[in-house]
Amino acid sequence: MSNMEDAQSRRSPGSTPSERESGASVATEPSPLRGTQTLERLRERVEAVARELIRLRQQNAELVRRLAELEARPLAEEDAVALEMDQDAEALRARIDGFVQAVDYYLSQEDAVESGE
């Protein structure tokens, strides 16, 4: 066998010049099993996405229902007092505690005057 014939016999299928030009290569053709596995994975992913879409639609419907309920309710009762806090909660609590202590002091002074102390 000549060197040229030996080199040609060692080439893989699809490596001859005519096969390269035509694009016909045995090595690049997917096996039927691999194609089936790919389609199966794709089908599983599509089904997972469809399930997630259904779940999100249900969640969205629930949120729309809850929003409608909240919008139907008044923000505050008609006889309720609305309180807006311009300061942080701790500062407000300290102020309220000061008012409570002042009221307690005046009430205790009033009780002392009434009892004759």
Per-residue pLDDT of the chain (117 residues; tens, 9 = 90+): 455 555 455 544 444 555 555 554 455 666 777 888 999 999 999 999 999 999 999 999 999 999 999 898 877 666 666 666 677 888 888 889 999 999 998 888 887 777 776
Cα separation of 26 and 18, whole Å? 13
Q: Name the token pair of 80.
A: 């309720």
User: What pLDDT, on the 0 to 100 scale, is given for residue 113?
Assistant: 76
Single out the residue of 2, 22, 6 nearest to residue 14, CA to CA: 22
One-letter amino acid for residue 5 of the chain: E
Single out the residue of 80, 98, 82 nearest to residue 90, CA to CA: 98
User: What pLDDT, on the 0 to 100 scale, is given for residue 12?
Assistant: 46
Q: Name the token pair of 12.
A: 């893989």
User: What pLDDT, on the 0 to 100 scale, is given for residue 62?
Assistant: 97
User: What pLDDT, on the 0 to 100 scale, is given for residue 48?
Assistant: 97
User: What pLDDT, on the 0 to 100 scale, is given for residue 22?
Assistant: 53
One-letter amino acid for residue 62 of the chain: E
pTM of the model: 0.38
